[in-house]
Structure 1
Amino acid sequence: MVIGAGARRSPGSGRRSRADVAEGTGTRGCRLGLFGEQCGFEAMRILFANSIQMFGGAEVWFLQVAEGLRARGHWVGLVCRPHTELEKRALRAGVPVIPFRFGADVGPLAVTRALRLLRRLHPDIICTNQDKELRTFGLAAKVTGIGRVVHRRAIDHPLKNNLRYRLTYTWLADVVVANSFATRSTLVRSAPWLRKARVEVIYNGVDPGRFDGPAAAELRSEWGCGEQDFVVGFVGQLDERKGISTLLEAFERAAVLRPEVRLILVGEGPLAPRVAEFRRKSAAGDRILPLGFREDIPRIMRSLDLLVLPSLWEGFGIVLIEAMAARKPVVATCVSSIPEIVVSGETGFLVPPEDPEALCQAILRLATDRNLAAEMGRRGRERVEASFSLSRMLRKWEELFREAASERPGR
């Protein structure tokens, strides 16, 4: 369901109560899927804001949490750019969507739209993921006094130590949540004015059950891969940050020694032309298959023998826990949050970034020892169930949102 961002109250209607706002989206029995009457607690009204046009790990997170909290009885709305993959998937999942044109950073038109939206929807929580969203909706929340702002920091990059960022993170954000301890450490180290106590950590999670089932033989057949082939997969954006050049060089070296090794690339990005050129020039080019953007990730993960993620830095690396949930070993670089996910020697291998030889050797080790690969996959699944499950993540976010909402003046 799409909620119009510019709806106005009827003349003379006066100030709406929280139970009457947003076209029938009150806290009890609303037509947007809130199940407050069936809950043994007061349902929250949670508004997520996302300004990104591309679809990646952060957008996967938005959908997971929006759907999960909605299923738990809370009202959830998603503010996002119109005509994006995120909007399409949210609508398909039944999550209420508010199309929003963000414009310039802290642009007066965007802030005015945010002010109107908050006054109409009266959320308890406003959750942002990018600094642009934080500044736009954080400022609107301060002006209106509506909602508590929870900002999710999902990239392992330092903050700039200047007045702009200090105001953004200490005045506009009520709570900051990092997706890993590595991200939290980078945040507080780069911003001495940001108190550690204000930065929480909640890991991303997946539903392990979505990755159950046998490998799709027909899918491997579509790829031109037989049962004896060792299929290495990469899932993510084709850009420099993901270490694509290192991956191609490492695969070329591995393919010389192990002719059964194949490489599947899932994703789009600016390096797609370079991948195409590499395939034309390399002797191993016929064993590289770019699939482009795909939605059937669980099916793909089940059909791989190994997932690699040779990133230079990461936000979180959710594809790692997806592969581990599918009982696949992983090889990744020891950067950002990745060492918190992958236990080297148990669930896969960690290698230095921009080191094609180390990556090649890790691939060869697993290609030549299928029993080791299977054992690492089994341990990876156990690790996901223990530390990176969707149910655990949703419980943590629900608890954090409820605590933040309870601290709002007047409650």
Structure 2
Amino acid sequence: MRLFRKSARGRVPRLELILSSGVAIGGLERLVYHLARRLDPTRLVASVRLVGARGTFAEWVLAELPDRAVWYDRSLVELARLRSDLRRELPSVVHASGLFARGLTLAAVPHAPAVDTVANPDLEHGTVRRYAYRGIGKLAAAYWADSRARADVGIERLGIPRDRIRVIYPGVDEVTIGAEAQRAFLERHGLRATDKIVAVVGNLRVLKGHDRLVEIAQEVTKRDPSVVFVLAGADLSRGEIPRLLEGSSARRNIRLTGFVDDPLPLMAASAVVLQPSRSEGVPRVTLEAMSVGAAILSTAVGGIPEVLTHEETGVLVPANSVGQLTRSLIELLEAPARRAELGARARERVRARFGLDRMVREFEELYLGAAARTVDSRQ
């Protein structure tokens, strides 16, 4: 049994981070990457196993973590290789994200304690998938939720026992984005220094409210033609969102950049970072926008009100009010001093409460707790 890897301090528990990989990089993907890089290797040896498409995320992780990341496609041969690799390593604890990844892990190493991610049930389409998630999830030793709101959703809609859920807020590093980096981003995407940018960062989905930008952009640009909406993210809507935006009368004031590996210069250069989502946990982009001192306007959904305080570190509006989103955006765009105050307070809050080191420490304790239970049960 290879529950541990030798280190200078003795035996170190093994963690396997297993993720269904797609073409895009979102908040969960970035979190897995940062955990693999930042967990203390003298306390916990972490590996990443990616299953699925060899898209942007897989290429990024394999390049950055060549000694700790392995990719498998979904062929039977590759899935058998994954099963063999997991059985050979026999991890102390597994954190699998996504129904497919969790099912594979359960089949390969059924006795390894699992930490599950409390998923967004709004993304789980179909009754069969929802019941499968509930069934597999009941076998987990612990669950991670990115907010109290997401934990409540897990309890109420997915049937997860309250005492198994650990809330760990995402974290980000403190950064300073200089004028040169901002200018380079603008030039690369055909934007001018005089443009009043509204940044919308995240992969394109109806669930994220990107379809609402048609109405919002039309109203805002009628009032101020210097406003440019910049959407940075891969299209996961199968072309629906780009088609809607292309048909808008404000299409000349809308830019689609596609996936951006580093959106921080965009957010730092923006007048407002807009989040029109219908459903969320705590988006990593919210914390990143706070870290660069951006003024944030968001719907008050999911865990966002747990990190953003209305009129103190951002502006929150009801989830279903496109009219209020539009009015609040116009007001913010016309109030530079107010935007600066909101951004400064947001930056202080993220520095004090949502640092990346804090997040990594809390995950480390979650994993080590599960690993300790494994050792106790096998002695």
* Residues 72 and 78 in structure 2, CA contact (< 8 A), matched pair in contact too: no
Give the structure 2 partner of residue 12 of structure 1.
none
Alignment of 1:12-27 (within 5 A): 17=2, 27=5
SS, match of residue 138 in structure 2: helix
Q: Give the alignment of 1:358-373 within 5 angstroms.
A: 358-373=324-339
Residue 117 of structure 2 is matched in structure 1 by 152
Unaligned runs of 5+ in 1: 1-15, 20-26, 29-35
1:63 aligns with 2:28: no
1:45 aligns with 2:14: yes
Matched residue, 1:392: 358
* Alignment CA distance shift 1:272-1:407 (3 Å): closer
1:190 alignment partner in structure 2: 157
1:78 corresponds in structure 2 to 48
Bigger drift between 360-369 and 154-163 goes to 154-163
Q: Aligned partner of 1:47: which letter?
A: E
Do the aligned partners of residues 70 and 86 (structure 1) sit closer, same or farther apart at CA in structure 2, a change above 3 Å counting? farther
Cα gap change, 1:182 to 1:276, in 2 (>3 Å): closer
Instruction: Report the Cα offset of residue 300 of structure 1.
Output: 2.1
Task: Report the Cα offset of residue 387 of structure 1.
Answer: 2.3
Partner of 1:10: none
2:249, 2:158 → 1: CA distance? 49
Check the 8 A contact 1:158/1:187 in 2, yes or no: no
Contact kept? 1:67, 1:93, Cα under 8 Å: no
Partner of residue 203, structure 1: 169
1:259 Cα deviation from its structure 2 partner? 2.3
Q: Residues 268-308 of structure 1: CA distance to partner in whole angstroms, max 9, x if unpaired?
A: 21558555555655443222111111112222222222111
1:365 Cα deviation (Å)?
A: 1.4
CA distance in 1, matches of 2:134, 2:209: 32
1:200 match: secondary structure: strand
Write 1 or 2 for the structure with the bigger share of strand: 2
Match of 1:33 in 2: none
Q: C-alpha displacement at 1:375, in angstroms?
A: 0.9
Which one of 88, 109, 112 corresponds to residue 59 of structure 2?
88
Q: Are the structure 2 counterparts of residues 293 and 166 from structure 1 closer, same or farther at C-alpha, using a change threshold of 3 Å?
A: closer
The match for 1:404 among 357, 367, 370 is 370
Instruction: Give the AA of the match of 1:301.
Output: M
CA distance in 1 between partners of 2:198 and 2:285 (Å): 13
Percent identical among aligned pairs is 25
Contact 1:156 1:182 in 2 (8 A): no
Shift of 1:65: 1.0
Give 1 or 2 for the bigger CA radius of gyration: 1
Return 162-171 or 300-309, whichever deviates more. 162-171
The one of 263, 269, 272 equivalent to 1:303 is 269
Query: May I ask how many residue pairs the two structures share in their alignment?
Result: 370
Map of 1:5 onto structure 2? none
Q: Does structure 2 retain, via aligned residues, the 8 Å contact 1:243–1:312?
A: yes
**Does the 8 Å contact 2:177/2:265 carry over to 1?**
no
Contact 2:149 2:281 in 1 (8 A): no
Displacement after TM superposition at 1:132 (Å): 2.0
- Describe the superposition over 1:32-84 as per-residue Cα deviations: whole angstroms up to 9, x where unpaired: xxxx32xx575331111111313222111111111111666632211113623
**What TM-score comes out, normalization by structure 2 length?**
0.87
Q: Does 1:235 pair with 2:181?
A: no
The letter of the residue matching 1:383 is R
**Residue 157 of structure 1: how far off its partner (Å):** 4.4
Cα drift, residue 330 of structure 1: 1.0
Higher relative contact order (CA 8 A, sep 6+): 2
Computed over aligned residues only, the root mean square deviation of the Cα atoms, in angstroms, reads 2.8
Note if contact 1:238-1:244 (Cα within 8 Å) is conserved in structure 2. Answer: yes
**1:175 paired to 2:175:** no
Q: 1:380: which partner in 2?
A: 346
Please state how far the C-alpha of 1:170 moved relative to its aligned partner.
Answer: 2.2
Whether contact under 8 Å (2:3, 2:13) holds in the other structure is no
CA 1:195–1:278 in structure 2 vs 1: closer, same or farther (change >3 Å)?
A: closer
User: What amino acid maps onto 1:48 in structure 2?
Assistant: L
SS of equivalent to 1:208? coil
Deviation larger for 277-286 or 384-393: 277-286
In the alignment, which residue of structure 2 is the partner of 1:7? none
TM-score under structure 1 length normalisation: 0.81
